[in-house]
């Protein structure tokens, strides 16, 4: 179930990454797409050649060029093809979307390119009136035709982000500044999906001239990626100066940007391993670093630095296999209850590092419908003993499988697995550690071939509906051997949450998670923090769980 912001492109394997969270290379279904996408090692190569003129100046000087370090998870600068964490950061700087989130707040989408919009009572028909003052970097006006082309191209590229529009039946420019969309079912989450940098709006004329197409078959026929890796075709606050998925991405300011023009004339985003990031920010070698998290932050000398920390999009979740043929022990609901109440969540949260949150259930703290922190299950060893007796457990060994060769959120998997093993041993369960290389782990996890599995999980898009992959028979349910008819009560409240609207949604999702706590093979352990660490004189340093940081917001005091 490993995922970082959802689906990922299978081409990440060539970067020593692994791909899944709801997708592989083709047009994915929500329940079949590989959603484990993507765990990247915290250790990536630094660029060999760093531009001398971008080195930070002495303390009193404030250069117009900004140096940002990030451990790249990146394959392309084409917004329609990217679905990686660094790709989201890049696309957010180059391309505008119909809606966005402000200042790291993912609870409420706000219009960006949209001036006004309407949704019918059934949440199936949407009308978007566009702003009339938006221009692309070549000076041409952004129109509804560009929006229709961009969204249809994304859908027909059949890439990792195409699922965002798979339930949209019609996308049509009805006049120069009006776009209509119709969905195949009530889809109030469409507005949240339209914030994704993968749905950035491109200049149709320029992309078509470069070989791009939005027609069916675009996954085979579209040839615009090479052009978009050399020159951006957006209306965003920056233009692309140069792009290397292995070394660095350089942005130059769009001085004619229709919105607030960024302060920095040039930003160099460098691929730097996590440990070097810590050294660079403390020495002044870089102005901002993006990948220090969890226990990494304990090593940072914060003198002269600012840290903006928030809940990461990932929750670390352990799952038990509900398939009796694979493991009669882990398939028992009484065994699940024993595990849930045999864990010491406070110890796990303390280990994971500063600002780590409890994970009472699967929905992350920053999203609508998250359970309050005080609803985390309590450790109760008497209850565990009763549950194990009811399960007929007789001390059988159960394997806990986890990735052995990567870190995530600044944490190695093995120490977390060892804590879980110790806690459950104290509770009377015999857990045997089963480390596996990441590729092996992901293959076994996809195939439902683990007794207990430990991995992070993040939503495919910033809305609680994205977590319904934990329903019986849905993506994570299926991988855990938990079929569609396994828990009618969980399915009933989950289906109700899916169609709930307005003020009813929050409580509907909370009720669904409480049902998961009562009857599911999933055990959320903790939700770690991620942080931006920056020069103390920098402004606009706000962590965002979607694109990590909005480069256009950065400036000097």
Task: Give tens-digit pLDDT for 243-279.
Answer: 999 999 999 999 999 999 999 999 999 999 888 999 9
The reported pLDDT for the residue numbered 42 is: 41
Global pTM?
A: 0.81
The reported pLDDT for the residue numbered 3 is: 43
CA distance 3 to 21: 5
List, in order of start, the domains of the chain with CATH numbers. Answer: 63-95+236-310+530-556 (3.40.190.10), 101-206 (3.90.76.10), 315-527 (3.10.105.10)
Going 390 to 395 to 398 to 400, the CA torsion angle's sign is: positive
Token readout for 49 is 């050649």
Q: Are strands 125-130 and 114-119 parallel, antiparallel or unpaired?
A: antiparallel
The reported pLDDT for the residue numbered 160 is: 85
CA distance 557 to 154: 39
Q: Give the chain's largest Cα–Cα span.
A: 73
Q: Are strands 397-403 and 430-436 parallel, antiparallel or unpaired?
A: parallel
CA dihedral 14, 17, 23, 27 (to 10 degrees): -20
Token readout for 397 is 């060994």
Residue 334 vs residues 130, 148, 319, 386: alpha-carbon distances, Å? 54, 51, 14, 9
Token readout for 321 is 């296999």
CA 264 to chain centre: 27
Token readout for 430 is 């015999």
Q: Which ranges of the chain have pLDDT less than 70?
A: 1-61, 294-295
Residues 6+ away with beta carbon under 8 Å from 321:
327, 330, 331, 448, 450, 451, 452, 453, 480, 481, 521
Token readout for 516 is 């998961």
The count of other CB atoms within 10 Å of the CB of residue 48 is 7
Residue 440 in 3-state DSSP? helix
The reported pLDDT for the residue numbered 56 is: 45
The reported pLDDT for the residue numbered 363 is: 95
The reported pLDDT for the residue numbered 133 is: 98
Residues 6+ away with beta carbon under 8 Å from 216:
156
The reported pLDDT for the residue numbered 4 is: 36
Taking each helix axis from N to C terminus, what angle separates 333-342 and 381-391, rounded to the nearest 10 degrees? 160
The reported pLDDT for the residue numbered 213 is: 98
CA 428 to chain centre: 36
Q: Which helix (H) or strand (E) holds 403?
A: strand 397-403
Residues 454 and 416: beta-carbon distance below 8 Å:
yes
Full DSSP string of 10-53? GGGGGGT-B--SB--SS---TTTSB----B--S--PPPS---GG
Residues 6+ away with beta carbon under 8 Å from 488:
none
Token readout for 484 is 């569609």
Residues 6+ away with beta carbon under 8 Å from 528:
293, 294, 311, 312, 314, 316, 352, 353, 356, 357, 409, 410, 411
């Amino acid at each position: 179930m490993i995922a970082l912001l959802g689906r990922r492109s299978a081409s990440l394997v060539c970067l020593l990454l692994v791909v899944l969270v709801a997708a592989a290379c083709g047009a994915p279904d929500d329940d079949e797409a590989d959603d484990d996408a993507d765990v990247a090692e915290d250790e990536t190569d630094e660029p060999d050649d760093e531009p001398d003129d971008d080195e930070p100046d002495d303390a009193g000087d404030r250069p117009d060029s900004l140096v940002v370090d990030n451990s790249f998870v990146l394959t392309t600068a084409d917004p329609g093809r990217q679905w990686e964490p660094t790709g989201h950061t890049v696309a957010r700087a180059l391309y505008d979307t119909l809606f966005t989130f402000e200042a790291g707040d993912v609870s409420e989408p706000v219009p960006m390119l949209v001036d006004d919009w309407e949704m019918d009572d059934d949440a199936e028909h949407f009308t978007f009136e566009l702003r009339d003052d938006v221009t692309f970097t070549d000076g041409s006006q952004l129109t509804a035709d560009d929006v229709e082309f961009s969204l249809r191209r994304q859908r027909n590229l059949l890439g990792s982000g195409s699922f965002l529009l798979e339930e949209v039946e019609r996308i049509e420019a009805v006049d120069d500044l009006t776009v209509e969309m119709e969905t195949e079912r009530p889809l109030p989450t469409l507005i949240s999906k339209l914030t994704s940098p993968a749905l950035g709006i491109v200049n149709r004329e320029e992309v078509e001239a470069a070989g791009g197409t939005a027609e069916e078959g675009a996954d085979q026929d579209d040839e615009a990626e090479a052009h978009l890796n050399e020159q951006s075709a957006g209306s965003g606050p920056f233009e692309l100066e140069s792009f290397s998925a292995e070394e660095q991405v350089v942005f130059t300011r769009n001085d004619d940007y229709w919105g607030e023009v960024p302060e920095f004339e040039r930003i160099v985003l460098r691929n730097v391993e996590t440990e070097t990031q810590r050294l660079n920010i403390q020495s002044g070698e870089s102005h901002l670093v993006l990948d220090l998290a969890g226990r990494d932050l304990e090593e940072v000398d914060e003198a002269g630095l600012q840290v903006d920390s928030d809940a990461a999009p990932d929750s670390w979740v352990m799952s038990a296999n509900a398939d009796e043929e694979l493991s009669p022990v882990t398939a028992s609901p009484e065994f699940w209850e024993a595990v849930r109440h045999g864990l010491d969540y406070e110890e796990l949260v303390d280990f994971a590092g500063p600002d780590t949150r409890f994970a009472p259930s699967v929905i992350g703290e920053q999203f609508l419908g998250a359970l309050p922190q005080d609803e985390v299950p309590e450790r109760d060893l008497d209850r565990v003993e009763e549950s194990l007796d009811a399960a007929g457990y007789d001390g059988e060994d159960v394997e806990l499988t986890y990735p052995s060769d990567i870190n995530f959120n600044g944490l190695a998997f093995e120490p977390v697995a060892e804590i879980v093993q110790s806690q459950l041993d104290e509770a009377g369960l015999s857990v045997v550690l089963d480390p596996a290389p990441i590729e092996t782990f992901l293959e076994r996890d996809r195939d439902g071939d683990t007794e207990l599995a430990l991995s992070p999980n993040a939503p495919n898009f910033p809305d609680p509906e994205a977590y319904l992959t934990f329903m019986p028979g849905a993506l994570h349910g299926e991988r855990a051997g938990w079929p569609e008819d396994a828990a009618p009560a969980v399915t009933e409240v989950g289906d109700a949450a899916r169609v709930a609207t307005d003020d009813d949604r929050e409580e509907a999702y909370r009720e669904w998670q409480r049902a998961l706590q009562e009857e599911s093979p999933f055990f959320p352990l903790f939700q770690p923090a991620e942080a931006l660490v920056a020069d103390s004189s920098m402004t606009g340093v706000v962590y965002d769980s979607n694109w990590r940081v909005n480069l256009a917001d950065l400036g000097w005091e």
